[in-house]
Amino acid sequence: MDDSSISKLSDRVDFASKTILEWVEQDQPITVVSHLDADGLAAAGIIGSMLERLNVAFKVRIVKQLDEDSLKELSSEPISPIIFADVGSGQKDLIYSNLPEHSVVIIDHHQPLEYELERCVEVNPHLFGIDGSRSISSSGLSYLVAKSVDLNNVDLAPIAVVGALGDRQDSGKRHNLVDLNESIVKEAVEAGFLEVKFGLRLFGFESRPIVKSLEYTIDPLIPGLSGNYNACLKFLERIGITPVDEDGNLRRMSDLSSNELRSFMVNLVKYMLSKGIESKEAESIMGTIYIISHEPPTSPLRDAREFASLLNACGRLGVPSIGVAICMGRRGEVLDKAEKLTSRYRQTLLKYLDWLSRNLDKVRQTRFLQVIYGGDYVDDRIIGTLISIALSSRILSPKKVAVAFAVSPEGKVKVSARADKALARRGLNLGLAIRDAASQVEGVGGGHDVAAGAQIPLNSEEDFIEVLDKIIAEQLGSE
């Protein structure tokens, strides 16, 4: 990532902000279309706050997938400018065929289609040789646009950090954000909105009772402890840490002596090793923590990773508007609802992880793939997160690409695919492979080098797997 790439991206960001300001000047109502995952909701929240502050009429649409159906719905509405966030770059052809007269801004970090779309400003790091899967997310790009519109929007930087963490862009050695994300972190810290520490990557470990932060952490997954309050209590007692003080209050990290804290860390890593997690993975429970300074100590929004998990819960359990509202600063009742959704989301994910662990013998192995058939048991909106966690916690092997299928309520097959970064270093580009394989079975797909998704017709799964295995063999140079 050199200075000239950054400067070209920055020019494109300014062009997008100028275009949006022109729409505002013409008093045109704006539609924002974004994706239902944490990065998509964070991007929509940042753009929503930016537009709200500009006093322009706007509405937000959150889509599971930007496909013919969602674009047809948009085409039935009166023509108005559209900002696509975290979607769009891979679907420019579909945008053109469904919305040929719309003015469009695309703010997306997915690998773009080589396609010239008229009346469109596309802000995408890949166009300038910047890796959108690690350097910056769609919420980070949205933040850059918002800041180009008005420097006062710097207060939205923590939401960009949340989105990047939601998209697992913490790819630095210490699980830290890198490149352009790192610059956003720096701005947020300098403006007093964010604190960065090195410590245990347990949700809210700085602020919550220890037993609760152990229980609430599902990513990384701590087998046997995540989601199980009583098991967490017993674990603490077993390693000699009293979870409750003399007055009956649950103890927090700040209540522990330095010896207790050290013992907690050592024993947690040992425990993970005893559960078959490799040492590198177990030790990665230590890492960089991002704390949003103005959120109250017990809030699920204080720890940026936990905030991202809450957004995923809202988006993937069907109430994305709550996630967007929270990113736009709403609290009170909406936050209460989001907390309930998060608890349900955690339980659902744990149920799926348990199901997968018990059915590993049914995972189909091909040369380069491990294939999970979720059928209609696994929610199509959650299957991607399921295999992300299963791969990072080594329930699934990092040596092969994980591909999972779930049948959506619309009667289509949702495909999610994930791979270890080591495979990308050997030449794997999952986004391109999935896009190509999906198009060969009349589906649509795309994404990043190590995380991609698709939608394919029912009963095309086996053809898809055959094609995908071949494409990956070619990418890895081992046909």
Which of residues 277 and 324 has its CB atom nearest to ligand C5P in the complex? 324
Summarize the chain as % helix, strand, coil (round to 5): 50, 15, 35
Q: How far apart are CA 161 and CA 185, in angstroms?
A: 7
Closest CB to ligand C5P among residues 220, 384: 384
Q: How far is the CB of 126 from ligand C5P (least distance, A)?
A: 12
Q: Which two tokens stand for residue 40?
A: 């998509």
Minimum distance of ligand C5P from residue 478's CB (angstroms): 24
User: Based on CB atoms, which residue is closest to ligand C5P, 64 or 302?
Assistant: 64
Residues 373 and 402: their CA atoms lie apart, in Å, by 11
For residues 37 and 160, the answer to whether their CB atoms sit within 8 Å is no
Q: Closer CB to ligand C5P, residue 206 or residue 461?
A: 461
Residue 38 and residue 170 in contact, taking contact as beta carbons nearer than 8 Å: no
Separation CA 263–CA 267 (nearest Å): 6
Residue 12 sits at φ, ψ, to 5 deg, of -65, -40
Q: What is the DSSP letter of 88?
A: S
Q: Which is nearer to ligand C5P, 162 or 232 (CB)?
A: 162
| Between 202 and 419, CB nearer to ligand C5P | 419
60 in Cβ contact with 321 (< 8 Å): yes
Neighbours of 50 (CB within 10 A): 26
Residues lying near ligand C5P in the complex (CB under 6 A): 35, 65, 90, 110, 384, 416, 444-448, 451-455
For residue 377, the tally of other CB atoms under 10 A from its CB is: 13
Residue 387 CB, nearest distance to ligand C5P (Å)? 8
CB of 37 to ligand C5P, least distance (A): 6
- Of the pair 110, 134, the CB lying nearest ligand C5P is at 110
CB-hemisphere CA count at 13 Å for 264?
A: 28
Cβ closer to ligand C5P: 90 or 223? 90
CA dihedral 256, 336, 30, 56 (to 10 degrees): -90
Minimum distance of ligand C5P from residue 94's CB (angstroms): 10
Looking at the Cβ atoms of 200 and 471, the one nearer to ligand C5P is: 471
Dist CA 87 CA 12 (whole Å): 17
Structure tokens at 442: 């009349």
- H-helix or E-strand spanning residue 62: strand 58-63
Q: How far is the CB of 56 from ligand C5P (least distance, A)?
A: 27
Of the two residues 81 and 384, which places its CB atom closer to ligand C5P in the complex?
384
- Least Å distance, CB 474 to ligand C5P, is 20
Q: How far is the CB of 388 from ligand C5P (least distance, A)?
A: 8
Task: Closer to ligand C5P by CB, 70 or 455: give it.
Answer: 455
Least distance CB 57 / ligand C5P (angstroms): 28
| Cα distances (Å, whole numbers) of residue 371 to 289, 366, 396, 405, 462 | 33, 8, 10, 8, 10
What does each C-alpha distance from 66 to 40, 86, 98, 385 come to in angstroms? 12, 10, 11, 19
CA-nearest of 189, 383, 221 to 304 is 189
Sole residue written with tokens 């930087």: 157
- CB of 328: closest distance to ligand C5P in angstroms? 21
Nearest approach, Cβ of residue 263 and ligand C5P (Å): 38
- Residues contacting 216, CB < 8 A, separation 6+: 202, 203, 204, 208, 306, 346
Size of the chain in residues: 479
* One-letter amino acid for residue 305 of the chain: R
